Structure 1
Amino acid sequence: MDDFIGRKGLVESARLKALSRPSNMRGLTHLAGHLAVILGTGTALYFAWGSWWGVPVFVLHGLALNYLYAAQHECSHWTAFETRRLNDFVGAACGFLVFWPHQHDQAYHFTHHRHTQDPARDPEIMGEEGGSLTRGGFLLSLTGLPYWLRRAKNLVRVARGDTSEEPYLTARQRPAVVAEARWTLLGYALIAGVSVALGTWAAAIYWVGPVLLTKWTHQPQNLIEHTGMPHEGDTVTMTRTVRTNRVLRFLLWNMPYHMAHHTYPGVPFWRLPELHAEMAARLPMRPVTAGYLEFIARMAQSLPRRAETPQPAE
Structure 2
Amino acid sequence: MPDGAKEPWTVMLWVIDLLLLTLAWNLWLGESTLFQGVGLVLAGFAVLQIYLILHEALHGAAANNRTLNNFIGHLSGWMIALPFLVRRRYHMAHHTWTAHPVNDPENKAMIEKFSVMTHKQERTLEFMWKHWIPMIAANHFLANWRAPFVARAQGDTSARILKETRFARLYLVGYLAMAGVAFAFGHLADLVLFYLLIWLFLFFMVELLNLPHHAEAPLLAKDAERLQYWEQDRVSHDCKSLPFWSRLVILNFNLHIVHHAFPSVPWYRLAQAHSLLHQQTDNPPASQINEWDFAWNNRRRPLLKLMGHFFDRRA
Q: TM-score, normalised by structure 1?
A: 0.77
Amino acid at match of 2:90: Y
Alignment of 1:30-109 (within 5 A): 30-39=13-22, 41-42=24-25, 44-47=27-30, 51=33, 54-55=36-37, 57-109=39-91
What's the counterpart of residue 208 of structure 2?
220
* Structure with higher RCO (Cα < 8 A, 6+ apart): 1
Amino acid at match of 1:292: E
2: CA distance between counterparts of 1:38 and 1:247?
19
| Alpha carbons of structure 1 residues 50 and 140: separation in structure 2 relative to 1, 3 Å | farther
What's the counterpart of residue 110 of structure 2?
128
- Structure 1 vs Structure 2 CA RMSD: 3.5
2: CA distance between counterparts of 1:205 and 1:77?
32
Amino acid at match of 1:189: L
| 1:240–1:290 contact (8 Å) kept in structure 2 | no
| Correspondence for 1:119 among 96, 101, 111 | 101
2: CA distance between counterparts of 1:170 and 1:70?
31
Task: Tell me, yes or no, if structure 1 residue 183 matches structure 2 residue 182.
Answer: no
Count of residue pairs the alignment pairs up: 290
| 1:156–1:181 contact (8 Å) kept in structure 2 | no
The percent identity for this pair of structures is 19
Flag structure 2 segments of 5+ consecutive residues without an equivalent: 116-121, 221-226
Task: Tell me, yes or no, if structure 1 residue 237 matches structure 2 residue 237.
Answer: no
Report deviation, 1:88.
0.4
Alignment of 1:122-271 (within 5 A): 122-128=104-110, 132=114, 136=126, 139=129, 142-149=132-139, 151-152=141-142, 155=145, 158=148, 161-163=149-151, 171-201=158-188, 202-206=190-194, 208-214=195-201, 215-232=203-220, 234-243=231-240, 244-271=242-269
| Correspondence for 1:284 among 282, 291, 314 | 282
Structure having the higher helix fraction is 2
1: CA distance between counterparts of 2:279 and 2:299?
32
1:108-153, Cα deviation, whole Å (9 max, x unpaired): 1110101112122211222426995988278269532343255346
| 1:241–1:287 contact (8 Å) kept in structure 2 | no
What's the counterpart of residue 295 of structure 1?
294
Report deviation, 1:269.
1.4
Q: TM-score, normalised by structure 2?
A: 0.77
